[in-house]
Chain A
Amino acid sequence: QKEVEQNSGPLSVPEGAIASLNCTYSDRGSQSFFWYRQYSGKSPELIMSIYSNGDKEDGRFTAQLNKASQYVSLLIRDSQPSDSATYLCAVKNTGNQFYFGTGTSLTVIP
């Protein structure tokens, strides 16, 4: 199920910096895109969804979508140690199924 690709990392950033996470997808007809956060030993939890080209901001999180390039990203501003987790990109395809990327492991260093 290689429909969604992410850099596996690990990605390390200092506290207060911006963390940038990237994702590409293969189904050009996909219309819905999501970022989930998964702490070790826990199930994934939804952070953000984005459906239109451009940026969508929610607090310290900004999702960016470029359907022409089939590219989704997540920016985390003012990163905190509590942001240390694995971030999963998910895409809802034209068949209404949700596929996940391999996840990017983020560590925020105090």
Chain B
Amino acid sequence: SAVISQKPSRDICQRGTSLTIQCQVDSQVTMMFWYRQQPGQSLTLIATANQGSEATYESGFVIDKFPISRPNLTFSTLTVSNMSPEDSSIYLCSVAGTGGSGNTIYFGEGSWLTVV
């Protein structure tokens, strides 16, 4: 499986600020996704990051709040804008496997954000 690196791994953010999370993969991947996991909850898909075009957002998530970039097949960013305490969460970058394992997804280590 691909090696997925996320930065920052952890941060404490002030209310009203924005933070950009970076996701770097060690190989080219077609599908990249961003998930959120709020405390004690499961994973919620935010959006599919599309290379060279606008991300595809799930119901309840909008581009103004969670702008996503995907400039190439190995890199993506997720920005959490105008943060509130409700945005305190783990944000996970994931990629679909390549070749024979293209039918599953793998996760980075996550970015743990606390908004105060």
Which A residues have a C-beta under 8 Å from some C-beta of B? 1, 32, 34, 42-46, 49, 51, 88, 90, 92, 96-103
Known contacts A1-B58, A98-B105, A100-B45; can you find 8 more A-B pairs with CB under 8 A? A42-B109, A43-B90, A43-B108, A45-B107, A49-B104, A97-B33, A97-B45, A97-B48
A102–B45 touching, CB < 8 Å: no
Residues of B within 8 A of A (CB): 31, 33, 35, 41-45, 48, 58-59, 90, 92, 94, 96, 103-110
Chain A minimum-CB-distance residue to B107? A43
Name the 4 nearest CB pairs between A and B, nearest first. Answer: A43-B107, A100-B43, A102-B42, A103-B42
Q: Do A92 and B103 touch (CB < 8 A)?
A: yes
Q: What's the Cα separation between A51 and B104 when bound, in Å? A: 11
Q: For the complex, what is the distance from the CA of A48 to the CA of B18, rounded to whole Å?
A: 37
For B110, the chain A residues whose CB sits under 8 A away are: 43
Q: List 26 A-B contacts (CB under 8 A).
A: A1-B44, A1-B45, A1-B59, A32-B103, A32-B104, A34-B104, A43-B90, A43-B92, A43-B108, A43-B109, A44-B92, A45-B107, A49-B103, A49-B104, A51-B103, A88-B42, A88-B43, A96-B96, A97-B33, A97-B45, A97-B48, A98-B45, A98-B105, A100-B35, A101-B42, A102-B41
